[in-house]
Structure 1
Amino acid sequence: MTLLLDDRSVSSVLDPASLVEAIDRAIRLDAEAPADIPGRVNLSGGGRFFRIMPAVVPQSGVMGLKTFFGGGGVGVRYLIMLASIETGEVLATMDACYLTAARTAATSAVAARALGVKATRLGILGSGLEAETHLRTFAAVSEIDEIKVFSPNPASRDRLAGRLREELELPVVPVATAAAACADVDHVITATNTGYGGPIACESAWLRPGLHLSAIGSTHRDLRELDTAVFRRAGTLVFDADPEQIADESGDIREFVGEGGSLSAVLRLSDLLQGQAALPEDPQGDLTIFKSVGTALQDMVAAELVYRRSVEAGLGATWDDLAIPKSRR
Structure 2
Amino acid sequence: MTLLLDDRSVSSVLDPASLVEAIDQAIRADAEAPADVPGRLNLSGGGRFFRIMPAVVPRSGVMGLKAFFGGNGVGVRYLIMIASVESGEVLAMMDACHLTAARTAATSVVAARALGVKATRLGVLGSGLEAETHLRTFAAVGEIDEVKVFSPNPVSRERLAGRLREELGLPVVPAATTAEACADVDHVITATNTGYGGPIACESGWLRPGLHISAIGSTHRDLRELDTAVFRRAGTLVFDADPEQVADESGDIREFVDEGGSLSTVLGLSDLLQGKVALPEAPRGDLTIFKSVGTALQDMVAAELAYRRAIEAGLGTTLDNLAVPKSRR
Q: Same fold (TM over 0.5)?
A: yes
Residue deviations 1:160-218 (CA, integer Å, cap 9, x gap): 00000011101000011000000000000000000000000000000000000000000
AA in 1 matched with 2:193: N
Alignment-derived partner of residue 38 in structure 2: 38
Q: Tell me how far apart the structure 2 counterparts of residues 87 and 263 of structure 1 sit (CA, whole Å).
A: 41
Q: Tell me how far apart the structure 2 counterparts of residues 48 and 283 of structure 1 sit (CA, whole Å).
A: 42
Tell whether the 8 Å contact from 1:122 to 1:147 is kept in structure 2 after alignment: yes
AA in 1 matched with 2:2: T
Of 317-326 and 299-308, more deviation after overlay is shown by 317-326
Q: Tell me how far apart the structure 2 counterparts of residues 167 and 307 of structure 1 sit (CA, whole Å).
A: 26
Q: Within 5 Å, give how 1:14-163 maps onto structure 2.
A: 14-163=14-163
Q: Tell me how far apart the structure 2 counterparts of residues 241 and 171 of structure 1 sit (CA, whole Å).
A: 33
Q: Percent identity?
A: 88
Tell whether the 8 Å contact from 1:90 to 1:321 is kept in structure 2 after alignment: no
Alignment-derived partner of residue 195 in structure 1: 195
Question: How far off its partner does 1:321 sit?
Answer: 2.3
Tell whether the 8 Å contact from 1:35 to 1:55 is kept in structure 2 after alignment: yes
When the two structures are aligned, how many residues end up with a matched partner? 329
AA in 2 matched with 1:26: A
Q: What is the CA RMSD across the aligned residues, in angstroms?
A: 0.3
Alignment-derived partner of residue 293 in structure 2: 293
AA in 2 matched with 1:113: R
Residue deviations 1:67-87 (CA, integer Å, cap 9, x gap): 000000000000000000000
Q: Tell me how far apart the structure 2 counterparts of residues 130 and 187 of structure 1 sit (CA, whole Å).
A: 16
Alignment-derived partner of residue 178 in structure 2: 178
Alignment-derived partner of residue 275 in structure 1: 275
Q: Secondary structure at the match of 2:59?
A: helix
TM-score between the two structures when normalised by the length of structure 1 = 1.00
Residue deviations 1:296-326 (CA, integer Å, cap 9, x gap): 0000000000000000000000001211001
AA in 1 matched with 2:62: V
Residue deviations 1:85-108 (CA, integer Å, cap 9, x gap): 000000000000000000000000
Tell whether the 8 Å contact from 1:3 to 1:318 is kept in structure 2 after alignment: yes
Q: Secondary structure at the match of 1:305?
A: helix
Q: Tell me how far apart the structure 2 counterparts of residues 315 and 11 of structure 1 sit (CA, whole Å).
A: 12
AA in 2 matched with 1:257: V
Q: Tell me how far apart the structure 1 counterparts of residues 168 and 144 of structure 2 sit (CA, whole Å).
A: 10
Q: Tell me how far apart the structure 1 counterparts of residues 36 and 133 of structure 2 sit (CA, whole Å).
A: 28
TM-score between the two structures when normalised by the length of structure 2 = 1.00
Residue deviations 1:241-263 (CA, integer Å, cap 9, x gap): 00000000000000000000000
Tell whether the 8 Å contact from 1:101 to 1:130 is kept in structure 2 after alignment: yes
Q: Tell me how far apart the structure 2 counterparts of residues 145 and 15 of structure 1 sit (CA, whole Å).
A: 22
Q: Tell me how far apart the structure 1 counterparts of residues 244 and 170 of structure 2 sit (CA, whole Å).
A: 39
Alignment-derived partner of residue 306 in structure 1: 306
Q: Tell me how far apart the structure 1 counterparts of residues 65 and 139 of structure 2 sit (CA, whole Å).
A: 30
Structure 1 unaligned regions, length at least 5: none
Tell whether the 8 Å contact from 1:89 to 1:321 is kept in structure 2 after alignment: no
